[in-house]
Amino acid sequence: MTSLFDPLKIGDIQLSNRVVMAPLTRNRSPRAIPNTLNAVYYEQRASAGLIITEGTPITQQGQGYADVPGLYTPEALEGWKQVTDAVHKAGGKIVTQMWHVGRVSHDSLQPGGGKPVAPSAIRAAAKTYLLNSDGSAGFADTSQPRALERDEIGGIVEDYRRAARAAIDAGFDGIEIHAANGYLIDQFLRSGSNHRTDEYGGSIENRSRFLLEVVEAITKEIGAGRTAIRISPVTPANDAADPDPQPLFTHVVERLARYELAYIHIIEGATGGPRDFQQGDRPFDYKALRAAYAAAGGKAAWMVNNGYDRTSAIDAVASGHADLVAFGKLFIANPDLVERLRNDTALNAADRDTFYGGGAKGYTDYPALENVA
């Protein structure tokens, strides 16, 4: 029987176990530059089979939150080299989650104070995280976006390709394309946010076009075996909405099956909320989604996420429901989560007040088992 703690090769990346650190926005990289504190944080969690970094914008236009690290300046890439070196020296594997937030942004974060971009000029009923003039920080409503012009879309695909190459050059073992949680790629996918009438809007095939162009560009640049993708079929996060997600995401995974990707990362249910959440008039069938992917020839590892604990994660892998299980908040408070899960040891409680912004408190000061009195 396969165990959560067994090794696994995903694409070109060999993992020591199947426990994954999910991407977690922590807002501790001023000026979008990873720093020594970030390196310590990720190094502490290097016993994970795989670390997926916090969402990392591919350009300033893709930035939606203050103090998140980027992939688009020489200083940021040097900072990431410090992080990847630290994780590798500790025996870990790390991929970066490539992010373009689209409309989930604010004018103050955009180049020249311009409008955020989106498939259509529809404002998201969502919040973003900003720094105030007095140095404090907090959440604010997103700004009104503008619709991307047809001739701009290819440039964003090129931004993804360029950022993927930069990530590999910075020492990452691979990349995860963020196509979930109501950000730019997900905005193209969903009829609630995509009202375009050109070849990027309307039909499921058209709404999937941008995602597949990004996948094509990245896999040609760095190889499919170092490329992965994250999707969230029913989450309402950041005002994501579609009345019939089953055929949409079935189409998506069937097209992804053409690529020998490292893994497909599925958020089951509402991100950070109920796993049985549904959009439309029927529950989403995740088993059918995986079956459709396999029937189309897909061979990537299948990663699940959202509210898993030790028992459900072990069962998910043992039953064949998943190859990998990603944990989010549990990794915030437990740098040695793999050991704690393996030995069924008590877990540290997370301090929600320190999730976003700040310094070492609530970031690198959670004790590992050997430091618990």
pLDDT in tens, 222-261: 999 999 999 999 999 999 999 999 999 999 999 999 999 9
- Provide the residue range defining the domain that includes 174: 8-329
Interval 276-295 mean pLDDT: 96
Tell me whether residue 60 is in a domain: yes
- Termini Cα distance of the chain: 36
Please report whether residue 129 resides in a domain.
yes
pLDDT tens, position by position, 32-73: 999 999 999 999 999 999 999 999 999 999 999 999 999 999
Pull the structure tokens for residue 128: 């973003």
CATH of the domain at 281: 3.20.20.70
CA atoms within 13 Å, Cβ hemisphere of 166: 23
Judge whether 342 lies within some domain: no
**Total number of domains constituting the chain:** 1
Residue 352 in any domain: the answer is: no
Q: Is residue 368 part of a domain?
A: no
What does the chain come to in residues? 373
Cite the active site residues: 183
Is pLDDT of 373 > 50?
no
d(CA 124, CA 292): 31
Contact 99, 55 (CB under 8 A): yes
Residue 8 identity (one-letter amino acid): L
**pLDDT above 80 (res 371):** no
DSSP strands (E only) in the chain: 8-10, 13-15, 19-21, 50-57, 94-99, 117-118, 127-131, 137-141, 146-147, 174-178, 227-231, 263-267, 301-305, 324-327
pLDDT the model gives residue 118: 98
340 within domain boundaries? no
Token digits for 38? 């970030």
Query: Which has the closest alpha carbon to 177: 120, 261, 64?
Result: 261
How far is residue 95's CA from residue 167's CA, in Å, rounded to a whole number? 8
Write down the mean pLDDT value for the chain.
97
For residue 304, give the 3-state DSSP assignment: strand
Q: Does 372 fall in a domain?
A: no
Lowest mean pLDDT among 39-43, 166-170, 279-283: 279-283
- Residue 298 CA from chain centroid, whole number: 20
